[in-house]
Amino acid sequence: MQPQNMSPSDRSLSLSNLQDPEVRANPYPLYHRIRSHEPVHWDEPMGFWTLTGYADIVSTLRDKRIRKGQGIAAAKERVPEEAKESAQSVFDTFSKTIVYSDPPSHTRMRGLVNKAFTPRMVMRMESHIKEIVERLLDAVQQKGRMDLIADLAYPLPFTVIMEMLGLPGEDRQRFKKWSDDFAAVLGMVRHRPEKFHAARGSIGEVTEYICGMRQSLVAEPKDDLLSALATAAEAGDRLTNEELVANALMLLAAGHETTTKLISNGLLALMRHPEQMKKLRDEPALMASAIDELLRYDSPVQIVWRYADEDMEIGGKPVQRGKFLNLVIGAANRDPARFSEPDRLDITRADNDHLAFGGGIHFCPGAALARLEGQIAIGAILRRMPNLRLETETLEWQESPTFRGAVSFPVSF
Query: Residue 280: what pLDDT?
Result: 98
Q: What is the pLDDT of residue 224?
A: 85
* Cis peptide bond upstream of 104, omega within 30: yes
pLDDT at position 233 is 65
pLDDT of 334:
98
C-alpha distances in angstroms, 221 versus 67, 70, 229? 35, 35, 10
* Inter-residue contact 309 to 70 (CB < 8 Å): yes
Inside any domain, residue 40? yes
Q: Is residue 204 part of a domain?
A: yes
Q: Report the distance separating Cα 52 and Cα 280, nearest Å.
A: 30
Query: Phi and psi (nearest 5°) for 362?
Result: -100, 20
> What is the pLDDT, as a whole number, of residue 232?
73
Which of 150, 413, 406 minimizes the C-alpha distance to 268? 406
pLDDT digits (tens, 9 = 90+) for 118-142: 788 788 889 999 999 999 999 999 9
Query: In 84-228, at which residue ranges do the beta strands (DSSP E only) sit?
Result: 145-147
Assess if residue 350 is contained within a domain. yes
Q: How far apart are CA 247 and CA 95, in angstroms?
A: 10
Please indicate, yes or no, if residue 1 is contained in any of the structural domains.
no
Inside any domain, residue 3: no
Q: Is 391 within a domain?
A: yes
Q: What is the pLDDT, as a whole number, of residue 190? A: 60
CATH code, domain carrying 120: 1.10.630.10
- Does the CA dihedral 150-153-154-159 come out positive or negative? positive
Number of residues written out for the chain: 413
Q: What are 406's strand-pairing partners?
A: 397
How many domains does the chain fold into? 1
DSSP E strands, 267-341: 303-308, 312-314, 317-319, 324-328
User: What is the structure's pLDDT at 2?
Assistant: 42
The verdict on residue 48 lying in a domain is: yes
Residue 168, domain extent: 8-412
Q: Which residues of the chain have pLDDT under 70?
A: 1-9, 116, 187-191, 233-236
pLDDT for the residue numbered 188: 61
Residue 230 lies in a domain: yes
pLDDT value of residue 234: 60
